[in-house]
Protein backbone atom coordinates (compact mmCIF):
# COMPACT_ATOMS: atom_id res chain seq x y z
CA UNK A 1 0.00 0.00 0.00
CA UNK A 2 1.44 3.38 -0.99
CA UNK A 3 1.76 6.34 1.30
CA UNK A 4 -0.63 8.98 -0.05
CA UNK A 5 0.60 11.65 2.38
CA UNK A 6 3.93 11.99 0.54
CA UNK A 7 3.68 14.58 -2.23
CA UNK A 8 4.67 13.34 -5.67
CA UNK A 9 7.85 14.76 -7.14
CA UNK A 10 7.43 17.34 -9.90
CA UNK A 11 9.85 16.84 -12.79
CA UNK A 12 12.65 19.39 -13.03
CA UNK A 13 11.62 22.44 -15.05
CA UNK A 14 7.90 21.72 -14.72
CA UNK A 15 5.83 23.87 -12.42
CA UNK A 16 3.32 22.24 -10.17
CA UNK A 17 -0.23 23.62 -10.46
CA UNK A 18 0.16 25.42 -7.14
CA UNK A 19 3.31 27.27 -8.32
CA UNK A 20 2.32 27.88 -11.94
CA UNK A 21 1.68 31.58 -12.62
CA UNK A 22 -1.97 32.59 -12.90
CA UNK A 23 -1.03 34.55 -16.03
CA UNK A 24 0.33 32.20 -18.73
CA UNK A 25 2.26 35.06 -20.36
CA UNK A 26 4.16 35.66 -17.10
CA UNK A 27 5.99 32.37 -17.62
CA UNK A 28 7.40 33.64 -20.94
CA UNK A 29 7.51 37.47 -20.85
CA UNK A 30 10.38 39.28 -19.16
CA UNK A 31 9.30 42.42 -17.36
CA UNK A 32 11.68 45.37 -17.89
CA UNK A 33 14.51 45.42 -15.38
CA UNK A 34 13.63 41.97 -14.01
CA UNK A 35 15.29 38.61 -14.32
CA UNK A 36 13.74 36.78 -17.26
CA UNK A 37 11.43 33.87 -16.38
CA UNK A 38 13.24 31.72 -18.99
CA UNK A 39 17.05 31.72 -19.02
CA UNK A 40 18.24 32.84 -22.49
CA UNK A 41 21.59 31.02 -22.14
CA UNK A 42 20.72 27.98 -24.30
CA UNK A 43 19.14 29.98 -27.13
CA UNK A 44 20.99 30.83 -30.34
CA UNK A 45 18.45 32.38 -32.74
CA UNK A 46 16.27 35.40 -32.09
CA UNK A 47 13.67 37.54 -33.82
CA UNK A 48 13.32 41.12 -32.57
CA UNK A 49 10.62 43.74 -32.90
CA UNK A 50 10.42 47.51 -32.54
CA UNK A 51 6.69 47.85 -31.91
CA UNK A 52 4.75 50.77 -33.29
CA UNK A 53 1.03 51.30 -33.72
CA UNK A 54 1.35 51.58 -37.51
CA UNK A 55 4.74 49.98 -38.24
CA UNK A 56 6.71 47.27 -36.45
CA UNK A 57 10.41 46.95 -37.16
CA UNK A 58 11.82 43.44 -37.53
CA UNK A 59 15.34 42.04 -37.15
CA UNK A 60 16.86 38.57 -36.99
CA UNK A 61 20.04 37.58 -35.25
CA UNK A 62 22.02 34.86 -33.62
CA UNK A 63 24.11 34.59 -30.54
CA UNK A 64 27.12 32.94 -32.15
CA UNK A 65 27.86 35.97 -34.35
CA UNK A 66 26.45 38.49 -31.88
CA UNK A 67 24.99 40.34 -34.84
CA UNK A 68 21.53 41.21 -36.08
CA UNK A 69 20.20 41.97 -39.54
CA UNK A 70 17.23 44.23 -40.24
CA UNK A 71 14.25 42.70 -41.96
CA UNK A 72 11.35 44.44 -43.63
CA UNK A 73 9.10 46.37 -41.26
CA UNK A 74 5.53 45.19 -40.89
CA UNK A 75 2.97 47.80 -41.90
CA UNK A 76 -0.16 46.30 -40.38
CA UNK A 77 -2.12 46.25 -37.14
CA UNK A 78 -4.10 43.76 -35.10
CA UNK A 79 -4.48 40.22 -36.40
CA UNK A 80 -2.90 41.16 -39.74
CA UNK A 81 0.30 42.17 -37.90
CA UNK A 82 0.35 38.83 -36.08
CA UNK A 83 -0.20 36.93 -39.35
CA UNK A 84 2.98 38.57 -40.68
CA UNK A 85 4.82 37.69 -37.48
CA UNK A 86 3.62 34.09 -37.66
CA UNK A 87 5.04 33.85 -41.19
CA UNK A 88 8.38 35.26 -39.99
CA UNK A 89 8.49 32.77 -37.12
CA UNK A 90 7.83 29.90 -39.55
CA UNK A 91 10.56 31.19 -41.87
CA UNK A 92 13.28 31.99 -39.32
CA UNK A 93 12.43 29.46 -36.56
CA UNK A 94 13.68 31.66 -33.69
CA UNK A 95 14.11 30.12 -30.27
CA UNK A 96 13.05 33.35 -28.58
CA UNK A 97 11.74 36.84 -29.31
CA UNK A 98 13.05 40.25 -28.22
CA UNK A 99 11.06 43.48 -28.02
CA UNK A 100 12.10 47.05 -27.46
CA UNK A 101 10.31 48.82 -24.64
CA UNK A 102 10.34 52.65 -24.74
CA UNK A 103 10.74 54.87 -21.69
CA UNK A 104 11.03 58.61 -21.12
CA UNK A 105 14.64 59.88 -20.94
CA UNK A 106 14.43 59.81 -17.13
CA UNK A 107 13.37 56.14 -17.21
CA UNK A 108 9.71 56.76 -16.44
CA UNK A 109 7.18 54.65 -18.35
CA UNK A 110 4.62 56.22 -20.69
CA UNK A 111 1.70 55.07 -22.86
CA UNK A 112 3.96 53.45 -25.47
CA UNK A 113 5.69 51.51 -22.69
CA UNK A 114 2.34 49.93 -21.86
CA UNK A 115 1.59 49.28 -25.53
CA UNK A 116 4.95 47.59 -26.14
CA UNK A 117 4.51 45.36 -23.08
CA UNK A 118 0.99 44.47 -24.22
CA UNK A 119 2.47 43.54 -27.62
CA UNK A 120 5.08 41.36 -25.86
CA UNK A 121 2.36 39.65 -23.85
CA UNK A 122 0.41 38.90 -27.04
CA UNK A 123 3.57 37.47 -28.65
CA UNK A 124 4.14 35.18 -25.65
CA UNK A 125 0.54 33.96 -25.62
CA UNK A 126 0.19 33.47 -29.37
CA UNK A 127 3.55 31.90 -30.17
CA UNK A 128 4.56 30.29 -26.85
CA UNK A 129 8.11 31.55 -27.17
CA UNK A 130 10.12 33.39 -24.50
CA UNK A 131 9.96 37.16 -24.97
CA UNK A 132 12.83 39.30 -23.68
CA UNK A 133 12.67 43.07 -23.23
CA UNK A 134 15.28 45.73 -23.99
CA UNK A 135 15.18 49.40 -23.05
CA UNK A 136 14.91 51.00 -26.47
CA UNK A 137 15.40 54.65 -25.56
CA UNK A 138 16.96 56.47 -28.52
CA UNK A 139 17.13 53.39 -30.80
CA UNK A 140 15.12 55.09 -33.55
CA UNK A 141 17.18 58.28 -33.16
CA UNK A 142 20.35 56.20 -33.51
CA UNK A 143 18.97 54.41 -36.57
CA UNK A 144 18.09 57.71 -38.24
CA UNK A 145 21.51 59.18 -37.36
CA UNK A 146 23.10 56.28 -39.24
CA UNK A 147 20.97 57.02 -42.31
CA UNK A 148 18.61 54.05 -42.08
CA UNK A 149 16.10 53.79 -44.92
CA UNK A 150 13.76 51.74 -42.72
CA UNK A 151 14.24 53.29 -39.28
CA UNK A 152 11.92 50.79 -37.58
CA UNK A 153 13.80 47.73 -38.88
CA UNK A 154 17.15 49.39 -38.11
CA UNK A 155 15.87 50.13 -34.61
CA UNK A 156 14.84 46.47 -34.17
CA UNK A 157 18.37 45.56 -35.25
CA UNK A 158 19.88 47.91 -32.63
CA UNK A 159 17.55 46.44 -29.98
CA UNK A 160 18.57 42.88 -30.85
CA UNK A 161 22.29 43.65 -30.93
CA UNK A 162 21.98 45.34 -27.54
CA UNK A 163 20.29 42.19 -26.22
CA UNK A 164 22.90 39.88 -27.77
CA UNK A 165 25.78 41.93 -26.35
CA UNK A 166 24.15 41.68 -22.92
CA UNK A 167 24.31 37.87 -23.16
CA UNK A 168 28.09 37.75 -23.50
pLDDT tens, 20-50?
Answer: 557 889 999 999 999 999 999 999 999 999 9
| pLDDT given at position 11 | 36
| pLDDT given at position 168 | 77
pLDDT tens, 106-131?
Answer: 999 999 999 999 999 999 999 999 99
pLDDT at residue 159 is higher than 80: yes
Backbone angles phi, psi at 35, to 5 degrees: -65, 135
Grouping H, G, I as helix, E, B as strand and the rest as coil, residue 112 is helix
Q: pLDDT band for position 71 (50/70/90)?
A: very high
Contacts of 47 (CB under 8 A, 6+ apart): 58, 59, 60, 88, 89, 92, 94, 97, 98
Distance CA 64, CA 56 (A): 25
Q: Beta 131-135 vs 45-50: how paired, if at all? A: unpaired
pLDDT, mean over the chain: 89
CA distances from 12 to 9, 42, 49 (A): 9, 16, 31
Backbone angles phi, psi at 36, to 5 degrees: -65, 145
Q: pLDDT band for position 1 (50/70/90)?
A: very low
Amino acid sequence: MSDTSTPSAVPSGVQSPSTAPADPAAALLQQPGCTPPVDPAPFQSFLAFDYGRKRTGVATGNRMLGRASPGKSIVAAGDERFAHIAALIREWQPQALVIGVPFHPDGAPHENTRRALSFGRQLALRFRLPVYTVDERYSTTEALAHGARDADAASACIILEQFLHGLS
